[in-house]
Structures are given as C-alpha cells and as structure tokens.
Amino acid sequence: MHIVTGRWCAAALCVALVTTGCQETPHPTPPPSATTGVIKLPGNAGPTNMALAADGALWIVEHRMGAIAEVDPTGRVTQHRVPGRVVQPGSILAAQDGRTADWRLGWIDRPRGFAALIGEGKSPRSGSIRGLTVGPDGAIWFIAASTTPSVRRAHPTEGIRVMASLPGTANQVPQDGLTTGPDQAVWFTMSDGIGRVGHDGRYTRWPLPPKANPRQIIAGPDDALWFIERRGIGRITISGVVSHTPVPVPDPEWIRALTSGPDGALWFITDTQVGRLQLTGTPELWPVAGAKRLSAIVTAPDGSLWLADSRTNLVLRFRPPQ
C-alpha cells in the first residue's frame, strides 16, 4: 500500500490530490437562520450522501461527477476527484480513525490524500457495493450486490473477505441499507425483510409485510434499529420484534433518508420536507423552502441539520423551529 506522508494543511492536501483534480473554493460561514443555502455545488454534482467527520468537516458524494466534496468548518470547499475509471460514488462514511471511505472502499486520508484502494466497485472481487459501515472489529463491512449478494468485510491490510452469502439478487439490496447495531452485529435491509450477520458470519432474516420496501437502516438511540419503509418508519429490536410508524407523506414524495439526532429523536427527509420522530411520539414535518429532491441528511452537534438536494445541487443548513 503506497502512502504519501506529511503534515496536513490546505496546500498540502492539494499537492497530494493534484492528479485527482483537487480544487478549493472559498465560501463564507452561513449566518444562522431556519434554512440557509450554504454550498452551491457544480450543476452536474448530484449530491446523494454525506458524512460528518469528527473534526467538523462535511463530506458530500457528488454522484454524477464521480467526485467527493469536502467542506471544512469555515465553509471552504475542496473537490476530490475519484481516481481511476469513470465511477459514480455512492456510499460514504467517516471511519473511527478519521478517514473517509467512499463506495469503492477508497480512502480519502486528509494528511496523505488518497492512500489506497482496497477494492473497486463492480470488480469481480467486490461487486457493486451497497452501503458501508464500521463493524465491531473496526473494519469496513459492506454488501456486494453481485450475481449472488454477500456481506463482506474489508481491511486495509487483510483485504476483502466474504462473511455471509445472501439469498435473492442484487436488485433486492437497496443502496445504504446497512449499519452496525447495538448488539455489535451488522444489520441491513432487503426488498422483503431485515437481515443480520454476526461477527461469526451467521445470517438471520426477519420478513416484513408485502410492499414494505425497506431502504436505509440506522442504529437508534434506544438500542433498536430503525429503517425507512414505504409511507413510514419501521423499528426492529435486536430480538426481532418489528413495529411501524406511519408518516403522512403526500404522493408522489418518499421518505429519502434517516438519521439519529443529538436530541434523542430521529430526523428524516422527504423530497421537500424535514421530519422529526420522537421515540414515543408522532412525526412532525417542516417544509424546506426551494427544495426539489432532498437526498441526504446529517445532524450537527449543535442540533442543526445539513441537507443535500440532488436536483438543485445545494447543501443547506437547516435549524429546526424551537
């Protein structure tokens, strides 16, 4: 594995990424308000996913550009072009060691630029990657949606290993439907149910009602798993007890993404709204001015929310009404 070393600063990052199209765009810190347009991404960016790193940097997948944008706490934007063949990055996460991994399991390591690619999406080794999570062992776990879908484990020095084969086809595995649960197992959604794979590779599945269409799944603040489903949000305990909360989303909108907030509630987005669900309450919804297709949501430590819109190519800072 080739690693470029050196102390990080804005200039050093550009040098490390000069062959990948690193660019910096200054941007002022947004003033506080209910909804503020913070970042205007390029017209063909198509932001689809975000991750907030421990240092306050926001990482944004620019799906249609094959790039990842980094927004530092001052509002400065740095573009990281994904190297290699033309790709469309999808999932992204901030790893425990401060690095950020995209869907090809390529590391954006700020002190060193792109350090190593340990697996390429759509290669015979890993298939099309659907979702990333840091497993209980500190490695990256993901679903390879190849001819026979499987849950796999990736480590920079140990390589990629198949942990469990899954029934069905690649079409039954949604994007980003993967997380690490409170029981230290990996949980994920399939088109007809919820699955679990333990560190020992044992696979368990719980069916859902027909047409539930589960997608993203996250670990909630209550030692349970919460997931998006058609017209609502579902909950499953680690013992497999499932419940459902309807969300009044008007046609043709969908619930697009879900996250756990610092206030102990769940926050979610539809195409044009932000919603909040208390663990024992009913959903609340707020419209987002100018939104066309909200695609990602991340909560900040101060209680505000970062929102991405894949149609307007904007990243917004949203402050919920008190």
Report the CATH number at residue 248.
2.130.10.10
Within-domain flag for 25: no
Q: Please tell me the total count of domains within the chain.
A: 1
pLDDT digits (tens, 9 = 90+) for 97-151: 665 555 445 555 544 333 333 333 444 344 577 788 888 888 888 888 777 889 9
pLDDT at 303 over 70: yes
| pLDDT for position 36 | 57
Structural domain including 296 reads 36-50+118-318
Within-domain flag for 236: yes
| pLDDT for position 99 | 59
136: which DSSP letter? T
Cα 114 from Cα 98, distance rounded (Å): 13
Tokens of 234: 């579902």
Q: Name the residue among 173, 154, 281, 165 with its Cα closest to residue 222.
A: 281
CA dihedral 143, 192, 89, 148 (to 10 degrees): 40
pTM: 0.81
Within-domain flag for 93: no
Residue with more model confidence, 163 or 211: 163
pLDDT digits (tens, 9 = 90+) for 43-67: 789 998 898 887 788 888 888 887 8
